[in-house]
Amino acid sequence: MTILGIPSAALFSQLLIGLINGSFYALLSLGLAVIFGLLRVINFTHGAQYMLGAFAALLLLKFAGIGFWPSLLIAPLLVALFSAVLERLLIARVYSLDHLYGMLLTFGLTLIIEGLFRHFYGSSGQPYAAPKELSGAVNLGFMMLPKYRGFVIIASLAVCLLTWLLVERTKFGAYLRAATENPKLVQAFGVNVPLLLTLTYALGSGLAGLAGVLAAPMYQVSPLMGQNLIIVVFAVVVIGGMGSLIGAIATGYTLGLIEGLTKVFYPEASNTVIFAVMIIVLLVRPAGLFGRA
């Protein structure tokens, strides 16, 4: 069977890859949006935190025999804890300065973290096996769906939904949204805003760590695995609107699918299509699709 002259199996396969990539884009850009929304820091360390999540899962398995399922919780928590320390010790010191300082600081931290891991583990990737329960594939009739990839899509959707509910439907989320607008007034009400900032940075970084664990069985675990991805993720955040959670989620999945479709219809443009979209969106809506001008 063909659709628009393309074999349906090939089309669906690329759409699945697009959806998988979109899942990672959404998770990572959601973390970036949460952090930028409140801290006003463009967190360049996000790619390194994604890598740290994958490495945490790998090292937990290697040295403590802790498998994928517990790692899915422990590794993001470790990344969140490490990030909370980074925020308290370093990032908190640049809040009162221009955005550029936060960007430079987090970029420098990325170089140090990735450099350290490259020093100890080299540049080549290391394999991390998917859990046995998720090995193999399911026949959907129109295509074969590898179970693990299906799990990644569902897990990513669930985490995005939970994060959105946390921000939009809880007291913590109300503090976060209010502090995004006027942190000093929220603090004057008696809310511990410095702690809120630390928790928010830890939350955003933990999401990156979770994406890293989910990525570990699909891609090689390598010190530079976050580098290429993070550039695309920044484009996603800009297209969605800096700081907009819904923008980050919707744009993440949509751009993953657009990228997948481009691979089918015009493969030469698949690496650049997201940036082309970014330029168009910036020209038409500089605040992003879901951003407030």
Partner 1 sequence: MTAITRINAVKDQTAILSARNLKAWYGESQALHGIDLDIHSGETVALLGRNGAGKTTTLKSITGLMDRRSGEIKIGGKDISRLPLHHIARHGLGFVPEERGIFSGLTVQENLLLPPIVAEGGHTVEEIYALFPNLKERRHSQGTSLSGGEQQMLAIARILRTGIRILLLDEPTEGLAPVIVDRIGDVIIALRKRGITIILVEQNFRFAQRVAERYYVIEHGQVLDQFSAAELPGRQDWLSDVLGV
Q: Return residues touching partner 1 (CB under 8 A).
A: 171, 174-175, 177-178, 180-182, 184-194
State CA 223 to chain mean position distance.
Answer: 16
Q: Which residues contact 219 (CB under 8 A, 6 or more apart)?
A: 125, 225
Give dist(CA 25, CA 230) in Å, integer. 9
Q: State the minimum distance, in angstroms, from the CB of residue 167 to partner 1.
A: 10
Q: State the minimum distance, in angstroms, from the CB of residue 292 to partner 1.
A: 9
CB closer to partner 1 out of 134 and 174: 174
CB closer to partner 1 out of 104 and 178: 178
Give dist(CA 163, CA 28) in Å, integer. 12
Q: State the minimum distance, in angstroms, from the CB of residue 235 to partner 1.
A: 25
- The answer to whether the beta carbons of residues 18 and 12 sit under 8 Å apart is no
Q: State the minimum distance, in angstroms, from the CB of residue 256 to partner 1.
A: 27
Angle at 237 between CA 253 and CA 185, to 5 degrees: 125
Give dist(CA 105, CA 267) in Å, integer. 36
CB closer to partner 1 out of 62 and 169: 169
Closest CA to 20 of 248, 202, 253: 253
Residues 132, 205, 249, 218: is their CA dihedral positive or negative? negative
Q: State the minimum distance, in angstroms, from the CB of residue 90 to partner 1.
A: 20
CB closer to partner 1 out of 116 and 165: 165
CB closer to partner 1 out of 26 and 186: 186
